[in-house]
Amino acid sequence: MACSEPVRIALIHALEESVLPARQAFAEGWPEAFCFDLLDTSLAIDLAHAGQLEPSMMTRFETLARYCLAHDGRAGKTQAILFTCSAFGPAIDALKASLPVPVLRPNEAAFAEALEHGDRIALLVTYGPSLDALRNELLAMGHALGRTISVVPILAEGALAALKAGDAERHDQLAAQACLELAGVDALVLGQFSLAHAATAVQAVVSVPVLTTPGCAIRSLRALLEPSAADSIQTGLRHDLR
């Protein structure tokens, strides 16, 4: 694809705190792309209230996705959809086969990169309801590769509340503290877009690669939609932090 023809990508969010990390990651990793945002904060609230992913939520995801594809705009038609809400993997997977463009789960690319490092992966989240779904998603990806992997789940209690209250520094501190005793893993995935802000603080207390979901997702999308950029992505942006 010519550089003069930007790629139009839809970003669909369930948390306000995911919007800025996604935007920052595109600015750093793929500034030429044209991105637009859809935000429905009731999704995360309703999931926490229901305790499970209900059929009505699946329908809402399809509505949001099809809205993104309904009209042309700057950079033409929407060429990919990136969901940033980590707790809704089954709803996103249900769309993959029914939509005519690539659809990416928020953790899909980060998990793929983590599995390149080994079979024991740590997974850090700040939103409790997402932890089991993400663990199962990562285990399923390993199984699909014919591998038996182990996942070390970590919940940074209070970190998301601090971020919602505007205290990003406290958020990062709590995320790092949750990883202080981490040992015996091959990589650490920050399992939510909103955790990307804490990458530097977390990397300071662990000795394995720390992978952020937005950084990995953008590398994956760019390699898919701009194949000519794949070599530079492979050599220059292989890992978020070392």
pTM: 0.86
Who contacts 153 (Cβ-Cβ below 8 Å, separation ≥6)? 123, 125, 131, 135
Q: pLDDT for 1-45, tens place per residue?
A: 444 678 999 999 998 989 999 999 999 999 999 999 999 999 989
Q: Tally the domains of the chain.
A: 2
Q: What is the CATH number of the domain that holds 223?
A: 3.40.50.1860
Shared domain check, 112 and 52: no
Question: Of 177, 178, 167, 202, which is closest to residue 128 (Cα–Cα)?
Answer: 178
On whether residue 242 sits in a domain, the answer given is: no
- Distance CA(196)–CA(205), nearest Å, equals 15
Q: How confident is the model at residue 165 (pLDDT cuts 50, 70, 90)?
A: very high
Shared domain check, 220 and 101: yes
Exposed e or buried b per residue across 124-139, where buried means at least 16 C-beta atoms within 10 angstroms of its C-beta? bbbbebbbebbbebbb
Shared domain check, 209 and 90: no
Backbone region of residue 113 per phi and psi (left: phi > 0; alpha: psi in -120 to 50; beta: other values): alpha
Q: What is the pLDDT of residue 4?
A: 60
Burial of 68 (0-12, 13-18, 19+ CB in 10 A): buried
Q: What is the pLDDT of residue 133?
A: 87
Residue type, position 83, single letter: F
- pLDDT at residue 239 tops 60: no
Structural domain containing residue 182: 108-213
